[in-house]
Structures are given as structure tokens and as C-alpha cells.
Structure 1
Amino acid sequence: MTTANLLDFDLDGLAAFCEQLGEKRFRATQLFRWIHQRGASDFDQMSDLAKSLRQKLKGCAEVRALTVLTEHVSADGTIKWLFDVGDGNAVETVFIPEDDRGTLCVSSQAGCAVGCRFCSTGHQGFARNLKTSEILAQLWYAEHLLRRKFGRDERVISNVVMMGMGEPLQNYNALVPALRAMLDDHGYGLSRRRVTVSTSGVVPMMDRLALDCPVAMAVSLHAPTDELRSHLVPLNRKYPIAELLDACLRYLEHAPRDFITFEYCMLDGVNDQPEHARQLIEWVQRHRGTGVPCKFNLIPFNPFPASGLLRSSNAAVQAFAALLSAAGIVTTVRKTRGDDIDAACGQLAGDVRDRTNAATRMAQKRVIELKPVSSRAAALSTGA
């Protein structure tokens, strides 16, 4: 019999698994609590489970975490882990502590197939989707390690952002059970407002998520015109801005928050001029006659050699933010955290198999050697 990794299941999936073993649903609930609330992986620790069930589980199941390759702790308390996901691939996970919350930035893929120009993960290419267990294992490991580290019994991680490596909505079937486990009161009990999925704009999957498991939504916008956005975010050629904003409006009908967060990476001379800000204002305030309720996160770009792009000056960022704010749009400039361990916004890269052509491999090698690398808004922490 194949050994099942119980981290692959949300509560309904675990109940179905237990039913196959001849067990009732309440046993699945007990098991789910042991795994996710208490961080147990040894069935012998699960004292309120019948011995007969524990013996069954030993023969066909396990709680299999990911192997930690490295851990780095920043001077500001940010922690970055590199997890081995096999076949030479690894993914990164970042914990960002703040006074009123603890945010975990989670990866959904090894690499990324979207290929955004400013994203080092995209430059490295795509290896594979993560399994539900590999997504959840990042939270499972971090939550229970941090409880031990800080000597706490209560939850340490209050916010989860799916903003690490990969495009979450291109790994939909693994993502949704992971989200459900995060939200389940028998699991991590996170609020839908405090779990955020970030997407580059996979419109059909945004519509599905709205119905299947609505959580907070962040959209990587990065440009105010289709021509520029298609250059920076190739997915825009399939789902242009108007279609994306339509999807945002549909999503808001089901979302736990009454706004969409737009992520906007500030690129010197590319998308940071006053006319770009005015074009954005026109889009979000006039689309379909009503506009799209939103807030903007302006993200400092961390340059890497293969991108050919530079970070906007602080003056340009502040002027851009002032224009959006003057139009009544809530706007924040993302504070850099963990940059001394390459865990700041846009500094996750990880190790993935090179899926790109030979002409770019040497450039990627230089990126790794020179270190300051960039991916899509990886270590973004959101408010309540």
C-alpha cells in the first residue's frame, strides 16, 4: 500500500481517508488537530486516538515534512528557510515578525512559468508544482518551530501570504486544500482576511477561487497600459488589463475584504512616471463606470543583472505615491525587511532546475553569485 502523507489533506480529505480505514469523521478531526494544532508527526503521541487506529496509520500513513537546507535570520528578526523539494529543487519561505502580526510568505511552485521580466524566479524557469503537502509543510514547520523558539502555546503566525516562488493560481488543485487547512478551526484557524493569494492575473482561476475558497486577493499589476504590462508580465497578452479588472470586480462579490490589493514594482524610467500614475488612477476609478475598490502597494525593485532594470529613485516612488493618495487611493510604500539575508520584497530566488535556454544560463549563474535577486513581491506582509 502506498504511504499517504497526511499533510496532503484538508479536513474533508482526511475524513475520506479515515473512512477508507473504517473510521468515523470525529477520528479525522482528532487527527487533524494533532497534526496542525499541536504539530505532532508521531502517531504514538496522539494519545486520544484508539490504539487500533494508530496501528492502522503506522501501516499506511505518515506526516512527512520538508527537509530544511538552510535557515537565515535577519538583524530585524525576519527568518528565511530554504526547503528541499527533491530532484535538485528547493523553495524559500519567509517569516516576517511585526508588533501586531506574524506573516509567513509561502511558495507554491519550484520556479515559475509566468516569466515576468523583473522576476528572478521566472528567469530561472519552471521546475514543477508543489503538492498540497509541500505548501502546507512550510506553514506546519514554521508555526511549530516558532512556538518552540518563542516559548509560546498560542499561534505565532497570524497572516499567510501566497507570494513566494511561483504563481499560486497555476497550481490550483494543490492550493485550495492547503488554503482550507489554513482556514479550518481544527487546523490553523486563520481568518480569510489574513490569508492572501497573490496572482499575476490568471482570470479563470480567480473566478474559481471566488467560489471555492475566497480569501484576500492581491494582483500583480505593475503597469497601467496593456502594451507595457505585456512587456513586463507576459500573461497580460492572454488576460489584458480590462479582463483582469473585470475579474477583480467579480471576485469582490465573494471576497472577505472589500478591496483588491494591487502590487506595483517600481522600475526606474519604465513604469514610475507621473503619467503612469494618472493612467492607473483612470483605470481603477473609472473602469466599468464604478472603478475597482483597491489599495496599492508600491514595491522597491531589487535589481539583478539579467533583468536589465533599475530601482526607481526614492523621490520618484514618493511622488508616484503622492499622486495616487491625492486621488483618494490608499497607497503604501513597502518597507524592506530581511534584505541582509536576501529575504526582502523581491529577493526570493531559491534553487530550481534550469528550464531556460543555454544563452541565459550564464546570466543566471551571475545572478546567484552576485546575490541581490528579485522575484514577485515575495516577502510582502499584509495588514489585518
Structure 2
Amino acid sequence: MTQAPITQDVLTIPRAAAAGLPNLVGLTRAQMAGALAEFTPPKQVKMRVNQVWQWLYHWGVRDFDAMTNLAKGYRAELAARFVIALPEVMTRQVSADGTRKYLIRIAGGHEVETVYIPEEGRGTLCISSQVGCTLTCSFCHTGTQKLVRNLTAAEIVGQVMLARDDLGEWPEPGVGTGEAGPRLLSNIVLMGMGEPLYNFENVRDGMKIVMDNEGIALGRRRITLSTSGVVPEIARTAEEIGCLLAVSFHATTDAVRDVLVPINKRWNIETLLDALREYPKATNSERITFEYVMLDGVNDTDADAHRLVGLLDGIPAKVNLIPFNEWPGAPYKRSSNNRIRAFATILMQAGYASPIRTPRGEDIMAACGQLKSETERARKSRREIAAEAGL
């Protein structure tokens, strides 16, 4: 069978905001109400917020003139005071397995990557929360890029909106959406570039917008936030977002996790697990997902599997076993398929679901742990070339 070719489309979609005008995208309902209240009669503010909100997040409209249930004068006032601005898609790559990776430019010329993973009858969008990452997890390509800044709520929501643009998923007038019909973008995982809980307020506001029933309307159980273990923010996540939780765990002893996930030196395994035991109680949610990348000879022994079973005691949990996605210069190798299956068997016999993740988008460096902006990757390549040439 001939493998489908990898494609890369260079998209030039101008989305520059007019200088000095605030962006309506990314405002919470309360923030939008405050902004509209400056020129809207008090009794009309709630109604106007509802109208604008639906145009932005249900219909995907980017032009104030298209908001036809608003008077022309009010539309002109909106256009004079605000913009509807999204990040700019620089490149779009499509993997042989259908995975799409977008390189997105945000304010300041910085870039992040967003990945859409199609599945039968559904699709998951992996979004970024920071430019770069501060955690330096040793197995993660993304972690080799230094942290530049947090993304704003507009830039977080903007990734979802851009993906819906590309998928053609904004509804036509008179056509329903949400749980009543199929969704190409049915789930969101905050597993892209960055540590979401180091950008809590913007992530929270972005996800509140995504979850709002009068807009994009993805329920909280359709959203999974992945953290490496920022313990003080875990309870806040339960209270203020209420989404599903995943933890980048990856080791069963502090000695190994200190190397793989250095944040463990600040909040060790015991401290992290104590916080996680309280999370399901606070949200009444489903099981916590423990992400466990399988590294040959590092964390993949039978003894590691048995220790993991003991650590999970008292936590409603499932374990996603992730074959290591190798990248140039990576210091680790992927565990063998037999070793991964043996590890999974021990977990399953103890009663824990332990699916083995199928790597997606490896041919375009879109798999878990491989994200790293193209400009940073090119910059590193130039340095390496110069070093090799003795320049």
C-alpha cells in the first residue's frame, strides 16, 4: 500500500489587529460586559453580550457587519472600538495518518504549535499554553526550547478557532452543533507547548470560553489538562475549571523522576499524589490519567510497574503508556513493544486500564513530546552547522 505523501501548506492569512484597539476574542463574559457597558444602555448589556458572543463563538464570524441582528449603528460602534483578531497560521502540515500540525504566529512574532488528531467520528486538538517551556523535562523535545512567555486567553482560544476554520466546522445558519451532531473537533487536550498550570488564569479563561454552551460548547469532560505536577494549582483547577486531569508522571521513584521531570524536586511524588487524591472528590470527574512515557532501561521494568500499582492506590486512575517519540539528539530510546506490553499487563492485572498510545504524526514531528517551533528548530540547526564547520 502506497503511503500518502506528507504535505505542507504555507498559509498567509492576515489577522493583524488595528493598533491600540482591544480584541474581543478571549474576553470572558464579564469582561465583555464591562467593555460593552461603556457605550451600551445598562438594560441592554446582557443581551448585547449574548448576541456578540454567539456571533464569535457559535457562528465563527469575524466581521462586525455580518452581525445582522445588531443595528447598523451599533455594529459601527463595535468596529470603531474593537477588533476580532486571531493568531496567524504560518504553516500547516498534514501527516500520512491525517494528523495536522499548525505553526501559529502570535503577537511579538513568537510561534507555537498546535496539533489536530483525527479519529473515527471525533477529533482531538492538542493546544499550547506557553511559548516554549520552563520545565526542561529531559525526554521532551519541546522542553529544550526556553520559555519566552505565557499565551493570552485570546491566543489559547484562537488555536481552537483556527482549527475549526481549517476543518470547516463553523455551522451554517439554521444548522445545530454541539452534542446533537458529529464534531470533527470534539475534544481538547492541553498537552502542547508549555505547562498550563504556570499560566493558570489565561488557561482558565480560555477554557471557560470554549465550554460556554452558547458558543463552541465543549463540555468540561471533553477537555483534559495535562500538568507535570504544579501542586498548588491542582485544587484551583478542580474549583475554577473542573475539566479532566492528566499528569505527566513517567517514573516511580523520586530519583528517576527528578531527572525526567525536574519539577519533582519541588513537589515530589508523595506530595503530588496527595493532591491528586483530592481532585476527583472536588470535581466528581472521571479517573485521573497518568501519562507514562516508556524509556528503554530507564523506567520500564516489572519492578517499576509494580511500584506504580502501589502508588496509585486510592486514586481513580488510568495509565496511558506512551512509546517514546524519538527526536534528533534525544538521550533516550523507546522501550521494545514486548517490554511495553509486559508493563501494561501488570497494570491491567491490578485493575488499571493501561492503553498503549499509538504514536500519531511522527513523520511531521507532531507526536507527544516532539513539538518545537520551526524557527527555533531552524535556529538550532544553523548553530549546529556552524559548529560542525568550525565557524
Q: With structure 1 as the length reference, what TM-score do the two structures score?
A: 0.87
The yes-or-no answer on 1:220 pairing with 2:256 is: no
Q: Distance in 2 between matches of 1:364 and 1:35?
A: 41
CA-to-aligned-CA distance 1:216-266 (integer Å, 9 cap, x gap): 000000000111111111111111111111111221112252310000011
Aligned partners of 2:235, 2:123: CA distance in 1, in Å?
Answer: 29
Q: Distance in 2 between matches of 1:71 and 1:231?
A: 34
Could you tell me how far apart the structure 2 residues matched to 1:119 and 1:345 are? 8
Q: 2:128 aligns with which of 82, 90, 107?
A: 107
Structure 1 residues 362 and 64: CA distance shift in structure 2, 3 A: closer
Matched, 1:326 2:354: no
| SS class of match (1:21) | coil
CA–CA separation in structure 2 for the residues paired with 1:352 and 1:110: 12
Secondary structure of the structure 1 residue equivalent to 2:112: strand
1:75 to 92, 96, 100: 96
**For each residue in 1:177-205, what CA deviation from the matched residue of structure 2 results, as whole angstroms up to 9, or x when unmatched?**
10101110012111111101000010111
Are 1:347 and 2:347 counterparts? no
Pick the aligned partner of 2:281 from 226, 242, 253.
253
Q: What is residue 337 of structure 2 aligned with on the other side?
A: 314
Task: State which of 304, 309, 312 in structure 2 corresponds to 1:276.
Answer: 304
CA distance in 1, matches of 2:244, 2:195: 15
CA distance in 1, matches of 2:119, 2:380: 38
Three-state SS of the structure 1 residue aligned to 2:282 is coil
- For residues 70-116 of structure 1, the C-alpha deviation after alignment (integer angstroms, 9 at most, x for no partner) is 00112222111110124442111111111132111111011000111
SS of structure 2 residue aligned to 1:281: helix
Distance, in Å, in 1 between the alignment partners of 2:330 and 2:31 is 42
Does structure 2 conserve the Cα–Cα contact (< 8 Å) formed by 1:36 and 1:188?
Answer: yes
Instruction: Report if aligned partners of 2:135, 2:263 keep a CA contact under 8 Å in 1.
Output: yes
SS of alignment partner, residue 363 of structure 2: helix
The alpha-carbon distance between structure 1 residues 73 and 256, as it changes in their structure 2 partners (threshold 3 A), is: farther
Q: Secondary structure at the match of 1:270?
A: coil
Q: 2:67 aligns with which of 43, 46, 55?
A: 46
Question: Counterpart of 1:186?
Answer: 214
The secondary structure found in structure 1 opposite 2:273 is helix
Which SS does the other structure have where 1:197 is aligned?
Answer: strand
Query: Within the alignment, does 1:144 sit opposite 2:165 as a pair?
Result: yes
Offset, 1:156: 2.7
User: Which deviates the most, 252-261 or 31-40?
Assistant: 252-261
Matches of 1:161 and 1:345 in 2, distance apart? 11
1:21 equivalent in structure 2: 39
What CA distance in whole angstroms lies between the structure 1 residues aligned with 2:262 and 2:275?
18
Which secondary structure state, in structure 2, belongs to the residue aligned with residue 57 of structure 1? helix
Structure 1 vs Structure 2 CA RMSD = 2.2
Deviates more, 1:247-256 or 1:199-208: 247-256
User: Shift in Å at residue 352 of structure 1?
Assistant: 6.5
Match of 1:6 in 2: 24
2:9 maps to none
String of CA shifts for 1:112-166, please: whole Å, max 9, x gaps: 0011111111112111111111111000111133126999974431101111110
1:302 aligned to 2:325? yes
> 1:300, CA displacement in angstroms?
1.1
**2:142/2:370 contact within 8 Å kept:** no
Determine if the alignment matches structure 1 residue 32 to structure 2 residue 50.
no
1:195 aligned partner, one-letter code: I
Q: How many residues align?
A: 356
Which amino acid letter does the alignment assign opposite residue 344 of structure 2?
Answer: A
- Which runs of at least 4 in structure 1 moved beyond 3 Å after TM superposition? 148-155, 351-354, 361-367
User: Which residue of the other structure, out of 298, 316, 327, is the alignment partner of 1:293?
Assistant: 316
Select the residue among 79, 89, 98 that pairs with 1:58.
Answer: 79
Query: How far 1:363 sits from its partner (Å)?
Result: 8.0
**Corresponding residue for residue 15 of structure 2:** none
SS at match of 1:62: coil
Matches of 2:267 and 2:77, distance apart in 1: 48
Structure 1 residue 292: deviation in Å?
Answer: 0.9
Gaps in structure 1 of 5+ consecutive residues: 286-290, 355-360, 368-384
Spell out, residue by residue over 1:280-330, the C-alpha distance to the aligned partner (whole angstroms, 9 max, x if none).
Answer: 111112xxxxx2110000111122344311111111111111111111111
SS at match of 2:86: coil
Deviation at 1:56, TM superposition (A): 1.6
Looking at structure 1, the residues matched to 264 and 55 of structure 2 have their Cα atoms a distance apart, in angstroms, of 43
Deviations 1:330-363 (A, max 9, x none): 1110011222222222321124669xxxxxx868
Note the C-alpha offset of 1:62: 0.8
Q: Secondary structure at the match of 2:118?
A: strand
Alpha-carbon distance in structure 2 between the residues aligned to 1:172 and 1:160: 16
What is residue 124 of structure 1 aligned with on the other side?
145
